[in-house]
Amino acid sequence: MTEAFRPYRKLLKRAREISLVSGTAGLLSWDHETYMPPKALAFRAGQLAHFSGQAHRLFTAKKVGDWISACEQHAFAAGSDEAANVREWRRLHDRATRVPARLVEKFLRVCTHSLAAWRAARERSEFNVFKPHLQKVLELNRQMADCWGYQESPYDALLEEYEPGIRAAQLRALFAELRPAIVAILGSAMERSAAVPEDLLNGNYSIAAQQAFNRQVAEAMGFDFEAGRIDTTTHPFCCTVGPGDCRLTTRYNEQNFTRSLYGIMHEAGHGLYEQGLPAEHYGTPLGMSASLGIHESQSRLWENHVGRSPAFWEHWHPVACGHFLELKKFSPAQITAAVNRVSPSFIRVEADQVTYDLHIILRFEIEVKLIEQQLAVADVPACWNEEFEKMLGLKVAKDADGCLQDIHWSKGMLGYFPTYTLGNLNASQLMRQAALDLPALEVELARGEYGALREWLREKIHRQGLRHPPAELMRRATGEPTRSVCHLDFLRKKFAAG
């Protein structure tokens, strides 16, 4: 490598040093949500604050900015690995240097305690237990938004953390288009589901049997258990500690095995993305996912387009019956109908495919009001309950089924929720293009063969890392940036046709 590349070499070395620190923090965070004893909370908060501050200082050091400037002046060839990394390092560095390390450390410390408070509040279904913690998290999010800067709404600055380039105004326009279209589909979808009892699949499904079946499905999808594992937590998530170490989590309901199954298919979709990122670029932008909207497309694609299809249950029915004898009394078609039943419900992660995005729109609207100081934290439960009833027609009887059900606010992740809907749109768009590019796909999925689809996603999405911004990545993969048309067509065809 010539002398001109020396600043780039230094950036690579620094990026890998930061990845060691961040990976250690990731492991501590995973342990916090799975196995950490309760009395370790205060020390863990200090650990996470320390490592987050250390990673921040390593990246925001003046010499890092100097190295990036030198690389920009060198002008690497357009389209090269180096040019892509330098472009993203500049974007990320400019953003990071606007936030002082002490604020980053305070944010992690507050969120670590907030997460524990949320767990207790959710278990007791008492918002007041969580309220003071949410107030602190909200204030810190506003401070960070002010540091990052914005033109229209402070919420825009938070969105940039999860979906680079998207703005609240764009989401408002998108949701204004989606909401009436979903409501129009909902009536027909509910009519088609009316004959399917809500408790059709309820039974007695041991956790051990669920774990065995879930692992078998995840392995068939291509999740590498030599480089990953599954554990139990309050709210399912996927965490990557580093190359060769991707952790999935789920939760179990012994009366309904589908809760953990689709939780694992969702998280394994995330895990496949993480395992498909080029390990040789780990720590650099080329080894990072493009955005949360792209990440969620992978989980929603596997969970819904694959996992809830008739082909899935035609293939997996005998295997599932081997784990759950109670399923022998149901045909594949009956199970398919049950897992695609459409009816408004309280819990987002268990929502059907038609009403799911209504949950996201509700959260988006509340988050924007909180960040723009149009809604007080104390008024969140009442606002939630009122808007939820308007949107989904259900009266929320307890906070655990309402504003306390999701983990995101406790972790400071305001701006994340819209990426779930972007993920739904991207998933439908990607699945349509995959079917066009892979003529045998339908036959392969019916045989439980997922390799061709997985490798198509690897080529189009996973191995690209952050080479392209999310809209451009979608354009290259599907011929157009993210749009709602494919997803709405998918919902109409599946739930409202004929």
Q: Tell me the pLDDT tens digit for each residue of 308-341.
A: 999 999 999 999 999 999 999 999 999 999 999 9
264 lies in some domain: yes
Q: Are residues 121 and 179 in the same domain?
A: no
Q: Are residues 99 and 173 in the same domain?
A: no
Q: Which residues are catalytic?
A: 267
Residue 77: DSSP 8-state: P
Q: Are residues 354 and 419 in the same domain?
A: yes
158 lies in some domain: no
Q: Are residues 92 and 144 in the same domain?
A: yes
Domain boundary among 149, 179, 214: 149
Question: How many separate domains does the chain show?
Answer: 2
Structural domain containing residue 250: 168-496
Q: Are residues 325 and 469 in the same domain?
A: yes
Q: For the chain, how far is it from start to end, CA to CA, in angstroms?
A: 63
Strands 245-250 and 238-242 come out as antiparallel
Q: Are residues 346 and 465 in the same domain?
A: yes
pLDDT at 449: 98
Domain boundary among 86, 118, 149: 149
Segment 104-116 shows an average pLDDT of 96
Q: Are residues 193 and 227 in the same domain?
A: yes
144 lies in some domain: yes
Place of tokens 């949950």: 359
Q: Are residues 122 and 240 in the same domain?
A: no
pLDDT value at 4 more than 80: no
**CA gap 311, 333 in Å, rounded:** 10
Domain boundary among 90, 117, 149: 149
pLDDT at 1: 44
Task: Give 400's Cβ-side CA count (13 Å radius).
Answer: 10
96 lies in some domain: yes
- CATH number at 442 reads 1.10.1370.30
Element (H, E) at 246: strand 245-250
- CATH number at 132 reads 1.20.58
260 lies in some domain: yes
Percent composition of the chain: helix, strand, coil (DSSP 3-state, to 5): 70, 5, 25
**CA gap 36, 129 in Å, rounded:** 21
Give the residue among 478, 463, 426, 455 at the shortest CA–CA distance from 84.
463
For residue 82, what pLDDT band results from cuts at 50, 70 and 90? very high
Query: Quick one: what percent of the chain has pLDDT higher than 70?
Result: 99
For residue 470, what pLDDT band results from cuts at 50, 70 and 90? very high
Q: Are residues 136 and 240 in the same domain?
A: no
Q: Are residues 123 and 225 in the same domain?
A: no
Q: Are residues 73 and 203 in the same domain?
A: no
